[in-house]
Amino acid sequence: MQRFKILGGAALFLLTLFILMPLSENTATSIPGPEALVSKSALQETAIDQEEVRRYQLRQQQLKSTLTDYFNKAIASGEIVGAGVSIVKGDSILLSDGFGKRKINDAATVNGQTIFRLGSLSKGFAGILAASLEDEGKLDWEDKVIDYLPEFQLGDRQNTAQITLANILSHTAGTPYHSFTNLVEAGLSVKEIATHFKEVAPISEPGSLYSYQNAMFSLCQEMMHKATGKKITTSLNNRFFKPLGMHSATMDHQTISDADNVAMPHSKWRKSFRSRPLTNRYYNAVAAGGINASALDMAKWMRFLLGYRPEVMQKSVIKEAFNPIIEHKGKSKYYQRWPGHLKSYYGFGWRIHKMAASDGSDQEQTIWHHGGSVNSYRNEIAVYPEVDLGICVLLNSNSKLARRVIPDLYEIVQEVYKASPRKKAQKDDTKILAGSNFE
């Protein structure tokens, strides 16, 4: 009986302390608060969390080691000079790093902040920007090009009047393949380029045939300029680069020329790489190929595309750019020969691939993808929405490695993060990664 009295008195004493504590919150005390009364289950949970952290750290080390071997082999065989690589899983950046050299004969190496030119990866930014403006009612996918660029003409009046923003962003305006890319590279303004399409005959009705473009695609930036009163550089900076913390992302020749941490472009000459100068091509057509960025910038961009920055743009709006507008048939393109490839489409600035599931099931897997090539840079980005994964590789040489690097790295990631004995292992890893500081 005495024992119960003592326990009861202790419980009453603790209860009194908890009641009085809020009244003296500014008073220092050595008496433990309720958070110090750790239960057995809480201790077990802490042990599990520590095991999750340990497992994540081991996997991250394995991923870095495996990728280092992969890219060092490519460097040693003369396939590439340097690479900026980013891999994201959910809201977390698994890797943002560099391999190899910025310039072939210099000691400086590539890291996650090294800047590359993106080339046609820029088209994906334009498609997402258009989706943002469409959601706000500033533009509509069915807006006619001629309403924004009255000087534009392709074919007769009836044909010209049918060409829409959606046609431009999906390469279905009916223009012959790569029409007037030479004018983009010559530095003509988009408005001036628009006047030249009357010189070619359309190869199809608008919306019926895929035919890849740079000049025609770039007209979208002038339409967005007219709709908002802001240049595309301003819109991309304010809507995406600044809020996402893409601090190295720029859209002009002078800024990248003045930057210190830049991967210089390279081309092969007699089986050896030689560095090339930075050119000012495509900065007149930012939407088609005029963005510069680092691997870390691209990691933040992919995390956003997966829907983890809803305060910047809702996931449902982002997905508008990934609607499969037109099928790109055939097997001649490198991505059409990736393992498991079924079909390829083009959306708004993005390729959408349908792949057989890697687990052998009947469920298809989707890849949002684009390649980019400019000024002897060669880049690839691929986002796997069903598995919440993004991979981006930036190369400072126009290497054939780019054709296979996405499926290669996907396989590496799958192998490193394969299912563990605990069923929720990958979810736990993602929670741990969310605390990683890559900003």
CATH number at residue 60: 3.40.710.10
Q: What is the mean pLDDT of residues 211-227?
A: 98
Average pLDDT over residues 56-74: 94
CB 218 within 8 A of CB 190: yes
Does residue 372 belong to any structural domain of this protein? yes
**Each residue of 289-340: pLDDT tens digit?**
999 999 999 999 999 999 999 999 999 999 999 999 999 999 999 999 999 9
**What pLDDT digit, counting tens, does each position of 334-370 carry?**
999 999 999 999 999 999 999 998 777 788 999 999 9
Distances (CA, A) of 93 to 22, 28, 67, 85, 163: 41, 40, 15, 11, 40
pLDDT-based confidence at residue 42 (cuts at 50, 70, 90): low
Q: What is the band of 423 on the pLDDT scale with cuts at 50, 70, 90?
A: very low
- Say what the pLDDT of residue 358 is: 74
Question: What's residue 33's pLDDT?
Answer: 44
Return d(Cα 105, Cα 127) in angstroms, integer.
Answer: 38
DSSP state, 308? -
Percent of the chain with pLDDT over 70: 84
Is the Cβ–Cβ distance between 219 and 149 less than 8 Å?
Answer: yes
Q: What is the rounded radius of gyration, in angstroms, for the C-alpha atoms of the chain?
A: 27
Does any domain span residue 402? yes
Residue by residue, DSSP assigns 21-41 as GGGGTTS---S--GGG---HH
pLDDT of 45 reads 61
Number of domains in the chain: 1
Assess whether pLDDT exceeds 70 at residue 430: no
The whole-number pLDDT of residue 425 equals 37
Give residue 253's domain range.
47-132+227-433
For 110, the token pair is: 């590539």
| Mean pLDDT in residue range 40-46 | 59
Longest dimension (CA), the chain: 104
Q: 360 versus 252: which is more confidently predicted?
A: 252
For the chain, report the end-to-end CA distance as a whole number of angstroms.
61
pLDDT at 47: 63
Is the pLDDT at 431 greater than 90? The verdict is no
Residue 86's beta-bridge partner residues? 96, 392
Give a yes or no: residue 183 inside a domain.
no
Which amino acid is residue 374, in one-letter code? V
Beta bridge partners of 98: 84
* Cα dihedral 90, 397, 213, 148 sign: positive
Read off the pTM: 0.85
Name the pLDDT band for 22 (thresholds 50, 70, 90).
very low
Give the DSSP H or E segment for 97: strand 92-100
**pLDDT number for residue 234:** 98
Q: Is residue 178 part of a domain?
A: no
Residues 6 or more apart in contact with residue 278 via CB below 8 angstroms: 117, 253, 256, 257, 262, 264, 265, 375
Specify which residues 372 forms β-bridges with: 379
Q: What is 120-167 written as a DSSP string? A: GGHHHHHHHHHHHHHHTTS--TT-BHHHH-TT--SSSHHHHHH-BHHH
In a domain, 201, yes or no: no
Domain assignment present for residue 13? The answer is: no
Residue 20 lies in a domain: no
pLDDT at 317: 98
pLDDT category at 44 given cuts 50, 70, 90 is: low
What's the rounded Cα separation, in Å, for the pair 382 and 111? 20
Q: What is the pLDDT of residue 263?
A: 98
User: What b-and-e string marks burial along 33-63, b requiring 16 or more CB atoms within 10 Å of the CB?
Assistant: eeeeeeeeeeeeeeeeeeebeebbeebbeeb
Query: What is the model's pLDDT at position 14?
Result: 38
Instruction: Please check whether residue 338 is in contact with residue 407, taking contact to mean a CB–CB distance below 8 angstroms.
Output: yes
Of the pLDDT bands very low, low, confident and very high (cuts 50, 70, 90), residue 40 is: low
Q: Are 125 and 93 in contact (CB under 8 A)?
A: no
Which amino acid does the sequence have at 141? W
* Model confidence at 19: pLDDT above 80: no
Whether 32 is in a domain gets the answer no
Average pLDDT in the chain? 88
pLDDT for the residue 270: 85
Between CA 98 and CA 114 the distance in angstroms is 8
What's the mean pLDDT in 414-428? 56
Residue keyed to tokens 């590539």: 110
Instruction: Check whether 7 has a pLDDT greater than 60.
Output: no
CB–CB of 110/100 below 8 Å? yes
Once rounded to an integer, what is the mean pLDDT over residues 372-389?
A: 98
Q: What is the DSSP letter of 330?
A: S
Alpha helices in 265-416 (DSSP H): 286-289, 295-305, 315-318, 405-416
DSSP one-letter code for 84: E
From the list 170, 212, 211, 173, the residue with the least C-alpha distance to 194 is 173
